[in-house]
Amino acid sequence: MSRMQNVVIETVKTALGWVPAQWLPGGTPDPLIERRVALGRQDSRLDGPAKVTGLARFAAEVPMERLCYGALLHSTVTRGRIARLDTAAAEAAPGVVLVMTHRNMPRIGTLALIGVSDLSAVGNSSLPILQNDEVRYNGQVVAAVLAETQEQADHAASLIEIDYAVEAAKTRFDDAKAAARTPASILIERNHVLVGNAAQEVDRAAHRVDNLYRTPGHNHNAIELHAVTVAWQGETLLVHDATQMIAPSANALAKLFGLKKQQVRVLSPYVGGGFGGKGLWDHQVVAVAAAKLVGRPVRLMLSRESVYRMIGGRSPSEQRVAIGADADGRFNAIIHTGYSVMPPYGACPEQYTMCSRALYNAKSFEIVQHHVDLDIVPNTYMRAPGEAIGTFAIECAVDELAHQMGIDPIELRRRNEPERHPLSGTAFSQRALTTAYAEGAQHFGWERRLAEPGARRDGEWRIGMGCASGSFPYARMPGAHVRLTLRRDGTVNLSCSAQEMGMGTSTVQVQHAADRLGLPVEAISFDMGDSALPAGSMAGGSSQTVSLAAAIMAATEKLTGELLRLAGNDSPLAGLRARDVQLVDAGIGDVADTARHESYRSILTRAAREEVSVIAAGSPPLEMLKFAMHSSSAVFCELRVSEVTGEIRIDRLLGSFDCGTILNPKTAASQFKGGMIMGIGLALTEETLFDARNGRIMNATLADYHIPVHLDVPEIDVIWTGIPDPRSPLGARGIGEIGITGVAAAIANAVFNATGKRIRDLPITLDKLL
């Protein structure tokens, strides 16, 4: 992001500051906040039957005639050039259809990096893909093989011989810090924030903490491997992909291969887990190019090792948090600064300081992030990018301060709870974190916690409790479109190129549309996962639900107008305007006079129409600029630490969430828990082992990168305030990423309470507690 963007965004924010709230979208609360029938119900996910029977078809499972299989070869050095390349043995191997290297890969441009300015820009790397002999990171794709079977392709790839002319590479985080960049912006926020003189305030504070926190690299590790099944059908391109970005990917591939948007169709009805990792990377481009060269459909499913080598994960970070407080515990300074990796060809700034801008009041602030440039696979967005590890730092620091001052950590947080956004002074759209803490503490039995570390025991186990806040900003994406088709029989079809990767996208939007249209859920169907449908936004930033909801709201308004026009003068609705009516009981009714009502069926029958179809886009998401909007949470943990081995067992975990209206308690609870479980991994076991000697990831397997297993996961309690956000569609805010935030800190704080040991570098493995 540029300095210019900072100026533009801040100018817009300033202008909006003068506009009364009710003039803005969301200014009048969504009436569905008060009128919920299907919404708020524990509906089971609609795609459950297809998934539990194995009939749901994922990207690598689409059958095709004349299919050939791809395998990739990765660089084994970090920087350098391909000095010798011998593909003869591979080409001669049984079943081989194509060996593609930079020599014969079609010449194409580079991908535009993911950005907020251009929503069709979805590249995770702007490096050339098989375009030249240059190697920029260890694991970069250097060749691809197509063969009649996967076994043949894999074997042939192992026969390619490459010698590299190795060049010096940047692989050491600590060494590269000296040359770190300090960008003007982090996403759409100004990077360097200075309010008052925080350094001085910390120095003269009655109480202060000032420490470094370190977090390692992580990988998303969706269980479904990245995969595409690609077919050129004449001049059109069909891509069955596992992607969180259907419409933008289609646009980007069209641009790259010189096609019109309509010539590319990306299908992705099911995605086997994404978490930010299932975007556009080199493999889709390689598969499309290879399929073009051989004139046959291609299936390319990455090996698990390939996923680690070429799909970037979460950046490592080194964060400094300093907090100064007066004798009453009121913060007079928050300093949150640090380093993370972001090579110039990458897209993700790992915005770990965002949480510290919104969580607490303080008299002064200093916030800034520095980007370290390493020669690595570009890191990317991973579930709660920034926030997941940023909350670890700030929320441990708050706990440390509370302990030092002898104050209960919840009370310390309460004393610093902001009434308005601490930096901008903007009003919060809705915020009840204090309530979430109070309810969470009560459910959890926080009063049983002993402030003195190491005071509770059970045999060889020391028991501790900890808590921490989570935070994630609200986002609604512009440009989400839906088609809404109302048929004479009273059924409705919604369609949009939206993504489903486990959030229950269709389930909750069907519930939404049912209430919006005054219909039972059985009358609604929802088609998605196809770029041929009206373009949805990507699934990211916990934004898809409200983005789609806003589009459905807009489509419903359009439909209402259309139906009133069709109803004409012979209808009981004659003379009513859109603002006078509501959609209820499978038809349109007068808000003021419930007797005036006509069913959809009646309107369409009289108008001799089989169906009415409208396409609409959601309103611009100006509420994001007008209000400070955040999901927030209070996370509580109770755990045991073995005095013998240092092993940690989490016994209880509770998340108390303040995320607006909860639309489907069943699927929402699953999302919250899922985030929290990923937080357990973040806290205790997960680490991408990057060997700085050679720039290579060494634990590129699920056996050596430890995500939590069933025995690591206790029964998790999830509660919520459920207070609607008056500024968002349906009163809802995002819930997909908030779950992971705060968890690592809650666990680290509980470990401290159990043992008296403060671990500031993740993961908290047992050797750190011996």
Partner 1 sequence: MAIRINGAEIAVPDDARVSLLGLLREQLHLTGTKVGCNQGACGACTVLIDGERVLSCLTLAVQADERSVTTIEGLSGAGSHKLQDAFIEHDGLQCGYCTPGQICAADAMLREIAAGVPSYITADLAAPARLTREEVRERMSGNLCRCGAHNGIVDAILQVAAERTA
Partner 2 sequence: MNPLSYHRALSTADALSRAGDGAARLLGGGTNLVDLMRKGVERPSALVDVTALPGTIEATAEGGLLIGAAARNSAVAAHPLVRSQYPMLARAILAGASAQIRNMATVGGNLMQRTRCLYFQDAAASRCNKRIPGSGCEAEGGFNRYHAIIGTSPSCIATHPSDMCVALAALDARIHVAGAAGMRTIPLVDFHLLPGDRPDIETLLAPGDIILAVEIPPSPVARNSAYRKVRDRASYAFALVSVAAGLSVREGSVEDVRIAFGGIAPKPWRAFRAEAALRGGPATREAFEAAVIEELAGATPPPEAAFKVELARRTLVAVLTELSGSDR
* Residues annotated as part of the active site: 737
User: Given the rule CB under 8 A, which of 258-266, 284-292, 448-456, 641-649 is the region that contacts partner 2?
Assistant: 641-649
Dig out the tokens for 586 from the structure: 């499978």
C-beta closer to partner 1: residue 172 or 706:
706
- Using CB under 8 A as the criterion, which residues of the chain lie in contact with partner 1 when the complex forms? 44-45, 47-58, 60-61, 63, 69, 149-151, 155, 220-225, 270-275, 301, 303-304, 501-504, 666-667, 669-671, 673-678, 701-703, 707-711, 713, 715-716
Instruction: With beta carbons less than 8 A apart as the criterion, state whether 494 and 530 touch.
Output: no
Report in angstroms how near the CB of residue 156 gets to partner 2 at its nearest. Answer: 11
Residue 222 binding target from partner 1, partner 2, none, CB below 5 to 8 Å by type:
partner 1
The amino acid at residue 732 is A
- Count residues near partner 2 (CB under 8 A): 36
- 597 near partner 2, judged by CB under 8 A: no
Interacting residue with partner 2 among 48, 49, 94, 258 (CB under 8 A): 94
Considering only residues 168-187, where is the footprint of partner 2 by CB under 8 A? none
* One residue of 278, 696, 727, 733 binding partner 2 per CB under 8 A: 696
CA quadruple 624, 245, 471, 686: dihedral, nearest 10: -160
Instruction: State how far the alpha carbon of 137 is from the alpha carbons of 39, 99, 169, in Å.
Output: 48, 21, 9
DSSP per-residue string spanning 508-556: HHHHHHHHHHT--GGGEEEE-SBTTSSP---S-TT-HHHHHHHHHHHHH
User: Which residue, 373, 253, 376, is CA-closest to 312?
Assistant: 376
Q: Which is nearer to partner 1, 328 or 460 (CB)?
A: 460
Regarding 158 and contact with partner 2 (CB under 8 A), the answer is yes
Nearest-approach distance from CB 641 to partner 2, in angstroms: 13
In DSSP notation, 316-338 reads PEEEEEEEEE-TTS-EEEEEEEE
87 lies in the binding site for partner 2 (CB under 8 A) = no
Is residue 633 a contact partner of residue 655, using CB atoms and an 8 Å limit? yes
Closer CB to partner 1, 409 or 502, in the complex: 502
Residue 225 touching partner 2 (CB under 8 A): no
Q: What is the footprint of partner 2 within residues 727-746 (CB under 8 A)?
A: none
Name the residue nearer to partner 1 (CB basis): 49 or 568: 49
- Give me 403's structure tokens: 């302990």
**Residues 413, 632: contact at Cβ < 8 Å?**
no
**Contact positions with partner 2 (CB under 8 A) in 128-147:** 138
Residue 601 interaction partner, one of partner 1, partner 2, none, beta carbon < 5-8 Å per kind: none
Minimum distance between the CB of residue 691 and partner 2, rounded to whole angstroms? Answer: 6
Q: Specify the 3-state DSSP secondary structure of 600.
A: helix
Amino acid symbol at 729:
P
Least distance (Å) from partner 1 to the CB of residue 217? Answer: 17
- Distances, alpha carbon 308 to alpha carbons 58, 469, 686, 695, in Å: 20, 31, 13, 13
User: Which of these, 717, 710, 709, lies nearest to 637 by C-alpha position?
Assistant: 717
Nearest-CA neighbor of 758 among 748, 766, 767?
748
Binder of residue 655, out of partner 2, partner 1, none (CB less than 5 to 8 A by kind): none
The amino acid occupying position 15 is: A
Q: Cα angle at 497 between 492 and 503, to 5 degrees?
A: 85
The entry of partner 2, partner 1, none that residue 478 binds, CB within 5 to 8 Å by partner kind: none
Q: What is the CA radius of gyration of the chain?
A: 27
Answer with the entry of partner 1, partner 2, none that 54 interacts with (C-beta below 5 to 8 A by kind): partner 1
- Of 649, 652, 666, 757, the one binding partner 2 by CB under 8 A: 649
Taking CB under 8 A as the rule, does residue 2 contact partner 2? no
Site membership for partner 2, residue 708 (CB under 8 A):
yes
**Smallest distance from partner 1 to CB 718, Å:** 9
Cα-Cα-Cα-Cα dihedral sign, residues 407, 410, 414, 418: positive
Query: CB of 248 within 8 A of CB of 121?
Result: yes
Q: Rank residues 53 and 569 by Cβ distance to partner 1 and give the closer one.
A: 53
DSSP 69-96: EEEEEE-SSSSEEEEEEE-HHHHHSTTE
Stretch that binds partner 2, among 123-131, 337-345, 589-597, 696-704 (CB under 8 A): 696-704
Distance of CA 285 to the CA centre of its chain: 23
Our CB check for partner 1 shows the closer of 713 and 723 to be 713
Select the binding partner of residue 476 from partner 1, partner 2, none (C-beta < 5 to 8 A, by kind).
Answer: none
Contact status: 689 vs partner 2 (CB under 8 A): yes
Neighbouring C-alpha atoms within 13 Å toward the C-beta of 174: 3
Identity of the amino acid at 510: V
Using CB distances below 5 to 8 A depending on partner kind, what does residue 678 bind out of partner 1, partner 2, none? Answer: partner 1
Tell the smallest beta-carbon distance from residue 177 to partner 2 (Å). Answer: 22
Pairing of strands 456-458, 461-473: antiparallel
Closest to partner 1 by CB, 94 or 445: 94
Query: Does residue number 711 form part of the binding site for partner 2 (CB under 8 A)?
Result: yes
CB of residue 333 to partner 1, shortest distance in Å: 36
Q: Answer whether 142's CB lies under 8 Å from 135's CB.
A: yes
Q: DSSP character for 427?
A: B
Q: Which does 667 bind (CB under 5 to 8 A by kind): partner 2, partner 1, none?
A: partner 1
The SS3 assignment for 661 reads: coil
- Residue 491 site contact among partner 1, partner 2, none (CB < 5 to 8 Å, cut-off depends on kind): none
Tell me which amino acid residue 651 is. Answer: D
Shortest spacing between CB 757 and partner 2, in angstroms: 14
Least Å distance, CB 694 to partner 2, is 7
When asked if residue 766 is in the footprint of partner 2 (CB under 8 A), the reply is: yes
Query: Rounded to whole angstroms, how far apart are CA atoms 665 and 718?
Result: 10
Give strand pairing partners of 237.
232, 264
* Amino acid present at 208: R
Neighbours of 92 (CB within 10 A): 11
Instruction: Please identify which residue in 174, 203, 411, 460 interacts with partner 2, judged by CB under 8 A.
Output: 460
CB of 42 or CB of 117, closer to partner 1? 42
Minimum Å gap between C-beta 737 and partner 1 is: 12
Backbone torsions φ then ψ of 652, nearest 5 degrees:
-145, 145
Q: Taking a C-beta distance cutoff of 8 angstroms, is the pair 647, 665 a contact?
A: no
Nearest Cα to Cα of residue 312 among 353, 268, 342: 342
Q: Please say which residue, 455 or 689, places its beta carbon nearer to partner 2.
A: 689
End-to-end CA distance of the chain: 45
Q: Least Å distance between CB 420 and partner 1?
A: 34
Is there binding between residue 712 and partner 2 (CB under 8 A)?
yes
* Amino acid (1-letter code) at residue 387: E
Kind of pairing between the strands at 189-190 and 298-301: unpaired
Residue 168's binding partner among partner 2, partner 1, none (Cβ under 5 to 8 angstroms by kind) is none
Among 729, 273, 737, 388, smallest CA distance to 545 is for 729
Closer residue to partner 1 in complex, CB, 648/678:
678
Contact between 626 and partner 2 per CB under 8 A: no
One-letter amino acid at 450 equals: L
223 touches partner 2 by CB under 8 A: no
Binding to partner 2 in span 27-86, by CB under 8 A: 74, 76
Query: What residues line the site for partner 2 (CB under 8 A)?
Result: 74, 76, 94, 138, 151, 154-155, 158, 460, 644-647, 649, 684-685, 689, 691, 693-694, 696, 698-699, 701, 703-704, 706, 708-712, 765-767, 770
